[in-house]
Amino acid sequence: MAELLKGKPVADAMKADLVERVSALKAKGITPKLGIIRVGARPDDLYYEGGAKKTCDAIGLAYQVFEYPEDISQEDFERAVTAVGANKEIHGILMFSPLPKSLDEKKIRSLIPVEKDVDGLTLGSAGKVFADDPTGFPPCTPTACMEILKYYNIPLKGKRVTVVGRSLVVGKPVAMLLMREHATITICHSRTENLPAVCREADILVAAIGRAKMLTADYVKQGQIVIDVGINPDPDRPGKYCGDVAFDAVEPIVEKITPVPGGVGSVTTMVLCKQTVMACEMQNE
């Protein structure tokens, strides 16, 4: 049986650290604050927003939601995002996407100041992550993977890691963060040949694909550590979620594995809060 790398103890340890850091900032008269920009009221956005607010409350972080109608014009929304970016009371910004098709998301995202981009989705942040500049924030999910690996003392230096997925949100940044820790990385995608064999070569396998239970027993070997980033509707259990890894088939083979749910996903909102606290600290140095 594999050891389960659960997210909750990781988030709890991060919380304890953040409570202290928020208190230290408040003692200096500074209240760290997250600005949440939302257009419309999509259920997925509201669900994530609810989780983020709860986590903010738990560590004493303030937040403000900036909500706009779905028919907002490009010009008005650009003005609004620029104003939130310039607001000195807001230290970190989360902007939900995708935005309605009538809005130029790339242009609007570029209006978020890099130092406040705690969701790590601007090109400026991506550049900093690529350049190993610690003042740039990676997206929350790759950072959550790193927090899990760190919490469970999983060695990375010199280890072979296969990342399946090359998105800007997960695959590419997690590869950069792992390389920062001196792992040797292979990035795979939909055109990779012999994917099962490439996955089996790894000491650590990171699945960020978006295909329910795609990585079966053929893709893993004994002694491996598996980080499953996927969150997919479970085709076998309506109303439930599952990862990109076929957990029931893989768990008996590998050494350690993150469950879904209860793994990477349960650390991401804590990372959002951590990056907001870091942003506030850096803006007040």
Q: Of 53, 166, 180, 221, which one interacts with ligand NAP (CB under 6 A)?
A: 166
Distance CA 133, CA 59 (A): 27
Q: Does 136 bind ligand NAP (CB under 6 A)?
A: no
Q: Does 173 bind ligand NAP (CB under 6 A)?
A: no
Distance CA 199, CA 218 (A): 9
Q: Does 94 bind ligand NAP (CB under 6 A)?
A: no
Query: CB-wise, 110 or 232, nearer to ligand NAP?
Result: 232
Helices (H), 28-130: 43-59, 74-86, 105-109, 123-130
**Checking DSSP bridges between strand 62-68 and strand 33-39, what pairing results, if any?**
parallel
Each residue 259-278 as x (binds ligand NAP by CB under 6 A) or -, in order, gives -----xx--x----------
**Checking DSSP bridges between strand 241-242 and strand 232-233, what pairing results, if any?**
antiparallel
Q: Of 199, 209, 215, 245, which one interacts with ligand NAP (CB under 6 A)?
A: 209
Q: Does 146 bind ligand NAP (CB under 6 A)?
A: no
State which residue has the least CB distance to ligand NAP. Answer: 167
Q: Does 190 bind ligand NAP (CB under 6 A)?
A: yes
> In 10 A of CB 82, how many CB atoms?
14
Q: Does 210 bind ligand NAP (CB under 6 A)?
A: yes
Helices (H), the chain: 7-27, 43-59, 74-86, 105-109, 123-130, 140-151, 171-180, 195-200, 247-250, 268-283
Distance CA 166, CA 168 (A): 7
Q: Which stretch binds ligand NAP (CB under 6 A): 28-36, 40-48, 111-119, 168-176?
A: 168-176
Each residue 53-92 as x (binds ligand NAP by CB under 6 A) or -, in order, gives ----------------------------------------
DSSP 149-175: HHHTT---TT-EEEEE---TTTHHHHH
Q: Of 129, 163, 175, 208, which one interacts with ligand NAP (CB under 6 A)?
A: 208
Q: How many residues bind ligand NAP (CB under 6 A)?
A: 26
Nearest approach in angstroms of CB 225 to ligand NAP is 17
Nearest approach in angstroms of CB 149 to ligand NAP is 14
Q: Which neighbouring-strand residues pair with 184?
A: 160
Q: Does 171 bind ligand NAP (CB under 6 A)?
A: yes
Q: Is the peptide bond before 173 cis (omega within 30 degrees of 0)?
A: no
Residue ranges that bind ligand NAP, judged by CB under 6 A: 141, 164-167, 169-171, 188-192, 195, 208-211, 229-232, 244, 264-265, 268
